[in-house]
């Protein structure tokens, strides 16, 4: 700070605040709970402290406010508190004096020129646990302990409905038929039960976080599950099945009430979903790749794609007839970031007609719909249903016709008869399949063949895509043994076949394809099918780099190395 003042020629807040921000951020990164300092988020509806400390669930742990050196610090503190600034855990500082307020009272005041004192103040600030944080942490722990018995009660209620409830059985039969048409012929009654369980368990979460949401009553797929739910899950059955989770739902609601910034509320919902799903079904969470992309990475990929569209085609993401698809949207992070990125005067047209997304797991599908529609509402000031989110397994959806961008090897129409969970969903899939896709963007699941060959949590087979992999990547490989059926390679293969003659695939994936011997065929084929490849190797593969350990070096907090790839295809 002193150097900034001395060499920068200014001691006002904007000139010197970054020094303390860097200091505080360094402490956050080293903290046992993986905290992060986030700039200027709404703490209450009209107050924006200079920084908010967030935990891994995006819950606010404390706040920081910087003032000018020449300000009367105490007078400024009182003024901010009178305006409604949070006073439960906040640091006020002016580069010389730091004052910590906790529980509404001054807890500590130090001379910032004394490193030992400043260290103690920052540690006290970061180690403090707000009452609502403690309540939520305890509720999470209790939820994880109670969930197995709650699921047992729910499954027992469903089993009783299967035995003696004709309305329920008829509803399941209709829903199962539609699922097999729309998602995959392999969908079973057990899969329908899991979808219904997730719908039941998460309804309260949505209502608690977004209190005015009509999603479960308006969404085309949610309506189908709600109708099925109403055949048996009412009154005492409902009360007895999920009563033990009410404390968790209540804690989620109170935590959400503390979040005024809508984007942060979305982040909180994603974090709660990831936390919930890993407790609910850890094996499926691993298989589906339930690790979501940091917003900074998403923004970089979107901006990079826009730049490359301009460089290679003289176009932008906002232009007419640039059709954009996220084939594994998860909770909709890429689409919501696109909504924030596109010019407001082009957004409604793109939103209605040229942004598409697919999701196969019911819970993230719900969240994606919610996030996308409310992000649009926040940006444009009015609600508009997002008409292009499909509940479908992208890798099974081969009911489209490609003109031959990958060497004339692909012309498939009607690989299976697409139906829909509703007429609306069926129409959405059909309309997407008729589009010429210019940009395919996202974060496809990573799961290769699990951590090792003895792991029973295998990925399912996709006959058409796996045949295409054998005909291309494996056929071109000189390796004796190849492991090419990774989920992310399946998505790259599908996307390579689906992409127009002029277009871009932009994915963040496992980095293994860059230099492993078994991927020589992948590299050869990709070089032939695309005119330009831009790869940002983020490294961080713990298993291959002995100099690093744990997960702190990885943007996802995982041990698998990752890379961002832009695959550009120009006609000819």
Q: What is the pLDDT of residues 252-304, one digit of tens each?
A: 888 888 777 767 777 787 778 777 777 777 766 655 555 567 778 999 999 99
Strand order of the sheet with strand 562-569? 389-391, 355-359, 324-326, 437-442, 499-510, 562-569, 532-537
pTM: 0.72
Q: With cut-offs at 50, 70 and 90, classify the pLDDT of residue 452.
A: very low
- pLDDT at residue 375, as a whole number: 85
Q: Which of 389-398, 448-457, 528-537, 555-564 has the lowest mean pLDDT?
A: 448-457
**Topology annotation, domain 296-569:** Rossmann fold (3.40.50)
Residue scoring higher pLDDT (281 or 43): 281
Model pLDDT, residue 407: 46
Pick the residue with more confidence: 287 or 324?
A: 324
Residue 402 reports pLDDT greater than 70: no
Closest CA to 250 of 129, 130, 139: 139
pLDDT tens track for 142-197 = 888 888 888 888 888 899 999 989 999 999 998 888 777 766 677 788 888 888 88
- Looking at residue 1, its pLDDT comes to 53
pLDDT band with cut points at 50, 70 and 90 for residue 546: low
Strands (E), 394-526: 437-442, 499-510
Q: What is the pLDDT of residue 441?
A: 98
Q: What is the spatial distance between Cα 221 and Cα 199, in angstroms, rounded to a whole number?
A: 10
Structure tokens at 311: 């460089």
Mean pLDDT (whole number) for 49-75: 89
The reported pLDDT for the residue numbered 222 is 72
The yes/no answer on whether domain 2-128 falls in CATH 3.90.1570 is: yes
How far, in whole angstroms, is CA 311 from its chain's centroid? 29
pLDDT at 77 over 80: yes
Res 459: pLDDT: 65
Confidence of residue 409 (pLDDT cuts 50, 70, 90): very low
pLDDT of residue 415 exceeding 50: no
DSSP 252-305: HHHHHHT---HHHHHHHHHHHHHHHHHHH-HHHHHHTT--PPPHHHHHHHHHHH
The residues of the chain that CATH labels 3.90.1570 are: 2-128
pLDDT at residue 550 in the model: 44
Q: To the nearest whole number, what is the mean pLDDT of the chain?
A: 82
Dist CA 199 CA 226 (whole Å): 8
Torsion angle in degrees (nearest 10) through CA of 190, 222, 358, 311: -160
Range(s) of the chain covered by CATH 3.40.50.150: 296-569
Going by pLDDT thresholds of 50, 70 and 90, the confidence category of residue 232 is: confident
pLDDT of 207 > 90? The answer is no
Structure tokens at 122: 């920052």
- Closest to 350 measured CA to CA, from 360, 339, 358, 340: 339
> Would you state the pLDDT for residue 357?
98
């Amino acid at each position: 700070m002193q150097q900034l003042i001395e060499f920068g020629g200014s001691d006002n807040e904007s000139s010197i605040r970054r020094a303390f921000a860097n200091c505080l951020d360094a402490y956050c990164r080293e903290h046992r709970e993986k905290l992060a300092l986030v700039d200027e988020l709404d703490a209450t509806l009209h107050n924006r402290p200079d920084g908010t400390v967030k935990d891994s669930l995006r819950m606010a742990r404390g706040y920081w406010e910087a003032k000018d050196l020449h300000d009367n610090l105490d007078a400024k503190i009182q003024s901010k508190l009178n305006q409604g600034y949070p006073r439960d855990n906040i640091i006020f500082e002016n580069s010389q004096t730091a004052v910590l307020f906790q529980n509404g009272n001054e807890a500590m005041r130090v001379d910032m020129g004394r490193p030992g004192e400043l260290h103690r103040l920052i540690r006290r600030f970061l180690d403090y646990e707000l009452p609502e944080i403690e309540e939520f942490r305890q509720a999470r722990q209790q939820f994880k302990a109670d969930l197995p018995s709650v699921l047992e009660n729910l499954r027992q209620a469903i089993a009783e409905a299967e035995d003696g409830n004709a309305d329920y059985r008829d509803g399941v039969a209709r829903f199962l038929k539609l699922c097999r048409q729309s998602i995959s012929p392999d969908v079973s009654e057990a899969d329908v039960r899991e979808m219904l369980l997730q719908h039941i368990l998460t309804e309260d979460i949505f209502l608690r976080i977004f209190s005015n949401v009509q999603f479960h009553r308006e969404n085309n797929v949610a309506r189908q599950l709600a109708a099925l739910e109403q055949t048996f899950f009412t009154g005492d059955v409902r009360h007895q099945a999920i009563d033990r989770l009410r404390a968790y739902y209540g804690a989620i609601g109170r935590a959400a009430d503390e979040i005024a910034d809508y984007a942060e509320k979305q982040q909180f919902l994603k974090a709660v979903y990831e936390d919930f799903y890993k407790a609910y079904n850890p094996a499926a969470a691993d298989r589906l790749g339930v690790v979501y992309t940091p917003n900074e990475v998403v923004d970089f990929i979107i901006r990079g794609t826009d730049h490359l569209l301009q460089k290679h085609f003289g176009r932008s993401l906002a232009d007419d007839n640039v059709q954009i698809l996220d084939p594994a949207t998860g909770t909709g992070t890429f689409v919501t970031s696109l909504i924030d990125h596109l010019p407001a005067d082009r957004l409604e047209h793109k939103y209605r007609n040229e942004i598409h997304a697919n999701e196969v797991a019911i819970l993230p599908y719900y969240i994606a719909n919610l996030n996308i529609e409310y992000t649009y509402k926040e940006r444009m000031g009015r609600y508009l249903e997002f008409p292009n989110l499909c509940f479908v397994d992208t890798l099974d959806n081969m009911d489209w016709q490609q003109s031959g961008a990958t060497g004339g090897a692909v012309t498939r129409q009607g690989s299976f008869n697409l139906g829909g969970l509703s007429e609306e969903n069926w129409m959405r899939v059909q309309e997407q399949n008729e589009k010429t896709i210019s940009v395919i963007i996202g974060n496809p699941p990573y799961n290769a063949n699990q951590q090792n060959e003895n792991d029973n949590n295998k990925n399912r087979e996709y006959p058409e895509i796996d045949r295409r992999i054998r005909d291309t990547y494996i056929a071109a490989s000189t390796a004796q043994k190849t492991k090419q059926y990774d989920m992310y390679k399946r998505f790259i293969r599908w996307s390579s076949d689906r992409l127009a003659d002029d277009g871009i695939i932009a994915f963040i994936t496992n980095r293994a394809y860059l230099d492993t011997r078994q991927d020589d065929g992948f590299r050869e084929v990709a070089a032939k099918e695309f005119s330009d490849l831009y790869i940002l190797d983020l490294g961080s593969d713990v298993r291959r780099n002995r100099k690093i350990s744990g997960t702190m070096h990885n943007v996802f907090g995982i041990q698998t190395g990752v890379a961002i790839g832009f695959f550009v295809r120009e006609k000819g």
